[in-house]
Structure 1
Amino acid sequence: MSFFHRRNENQSNARIHNGAQLITVMHPKSPISEQFRTLRTNINFMAIDHPIKTLALTSANASEGKSTVTDNLAIVWAQTGQKVLLVDADLRRSTLHRTFNLDNREGLTTILTSRAHTIDLNTIIQPSGIDNLSLLPSGPTPPNPAELLSSQRMKDFLKAARERYDMVIVDVPPMLVVTDTQVISRDLDAVVLVVKQGQTQKLGAKRAVELLKMAHANLLGYVMNDVVSDGSAGYGYGYGYGNDGDDE
């Protein structure tokens, strides 16, 4: 199944809304932005033996910061000069179109529900206004997200995206809310779990890890979000990696 017809090099001056979430754009030299670059570097180190071209970030429950971490990680990846596609696969609670002020009338669900053999993704994938970063919003909310994400159509899309982009970063739903992430994680090269300091419960994080292991996902570890450290203003990001999910 063919998705891409031609390469689109057109860059957009699209204005980014909710800029406070995109600290890697607004304050690229800040300590928090540097932590996102460190996270990117750590993931690259873990990909030496097994290249990672499709990466998802998830969380145990909603409102733990996974979309903010996902968006900023995609930005710092694009800042290295690599071609990055950021995909909103949280089909039930999408945020990408609001963060980047996108038209969400077409998106991932348009691709997955189309009966056409060939789709020109240049008409659906949108520029971000950031060099090397392209965006695919979720599109209209479907009645069957899990079925769409586990479909052959989704596998074909990921294959096509891997061929066109250096990195495909996917924002997926929380693990304990719906089954969507379990069904797609097995088709991705790696998954990172986002946990929020002071909010994510230890049992919730452990259960999320169990579900990912059951799905045979390549779980790299976790990112600690919203870390408060000495001298901070109570806002920030930490990073870390672990294999057992025992730490919050």
Structure 2
Amino acid sequence: MILNKRNRTTIQKSNLVTYLNPDSMISDQFRTIKINIQFLTKEKKNRVFLITSPGKGEGKSTTTANLAVSMAQQKQKVLLIDANLRNPIIHSIFKVPNEIGLTNVLTGKTSFAETVCRTEIGKLEILTSGSISFNPAELLGNELMSDLLQRVVNSYDIVLIDSPSVLHYTETRVLANQCDGVVLVLHRERTELEHTAESRRVLDLAHAKLVGAIINESK
């Protein structure tokens, strides 16, 4: 169940496996991923991770949501940010409102404290995308985004950012440069090998740190 200052709703999405079926094999795989990432955060220096994919429809947002839940279930304080300002999905997965969110915080219309959604899934909190932005690259590349990450990072064990495709949208490359690490979500059947290689090249050019990949097999 989600609990925040604006409303109270119930999670019903079947693709949030780590919440609905925590003892499943898939949930166990997410716990393994969590442990691998935990090695990177051991010294508390690397806590902001961008989750992206080469293209669309590769299960990136669902993967990010399940990873956030898995981490929160293991007593970590997690902030999940939906930075996919063109086609946000995180609010739909968790059944939370999206009238205000990241864009409203970055434009100074609301504060972070007023906007973040507190959940009953461990210590998981969510910052949805917010109002539609007509220039996501400029908004996410602005120093206000960097300032926001610097302000919140010490309040959480880990910050996960769901972002659009790295090959299609400039804002992902800009944002990746501000994070401690990037995780690439690949679909076993849909992601083409050359797109994976191109994604790595683009991230290198953006001076982003690619720390690993998650292979998704969902239909």
Q: Same fold (TM over 0.5)?
A: yes
C-alpha RMSD of the superposition: 1.8
The 2-side partners of 1:129 and 1:47 are apart by 24
Write the mapping of 1:179-218 to structure 2, written as runs, cut at 5 A.
179-218=170-209
In the alignment of these two chains, the number of paired residues is: 215
Q: CA deviation at 1:47?
A: 3.7
| Structure 2 counterpart of 1:54 | 48
Q: CA deviation at 1:135?
A: 0.6
Give the strand-richer structure, 1 or 2.
2
Write the mapping of 1:106-125 to structure 2, written as runs, cut at 5 A.
106-114=100-108, 120-125=111-116
**Which one-letter code corresponds to 1:16 in the other structure?**
I
Q: CA deviation at 1:98?
A: 0.8
| Structure 1 counterpart of 2:145 | 154
| Structure 2 counterpart of 1:80 | 74
Cα deviation, 1:148-167, whole Å, max 9, x if unaligned, reads 11101000100111021111
| Structure 1 counterpart of 2:213 | 222
Q: Tell me the secondary structure at the aligned position of residue 78 of structure 1.
A: helix
The 1-side partners of 2:42 and 2:155 are apart by 21
The 2-side partners of 1:155 and 1:144 are apart by 17
Query: Structure 1: where are the runs of 5+ without partners?
Result: 1-8, 228-234, 236-248
Query: Structure 2: where are the runs of 5+ without partners?
Result: none
Q: CA deviation at 1:120?
A: 3.4
Residues 180, 66 of structure 1: alpha-carbon distance in 2 compared, 3 angstrom cutoff: same
Pair 1:67-2:94 in alignment: no
Q: Does the 8 Å contact 2:105/2:111 carry over to 1?
A: no
The 2-side partners of 1:120 and 1:181 are apart by 23
Cα deviation, 1:97-116, whole Å, max 9, x if unaligned, reads 1111111110000011127x
Q: Does the 8 Å contact 1:13/1:129 carry over to 2?
A: no
| Structure 1 counterpart of 2:10 | 15
**Which one-letter code corresponds to 1:170 in the other structure?**
I
Q: Tell me the secondary structure at the aligned position of residue 220 of structure 1.
A: strand
Name the TM-score, length of structure 2 as normaliser: 0.92
Q: Does the 8 Å contact 1:85/1:136 carry over to 2?
A: yes
| Structure 1 counterpart of 2:89 | 95
Pair 1:32-2:26 in alignment: yes
Q: Does the 8 Å contact 1:14/1:127 carry over to 2?
A: no
Cα deviation, 1:166-200, whole Å, max 9, x if unaligned, reads 11110011111111110011110111000001100
Q: Tell me the secondary structure at the aligned position of residue 77 of structure 1.
A: helix
Bigger CA radius of gyration: 1
Cα deviation, 1:36-93, whole Å, max 9, x if unaligned, reads 0000111122344673211111000011000011001111111121211100000001
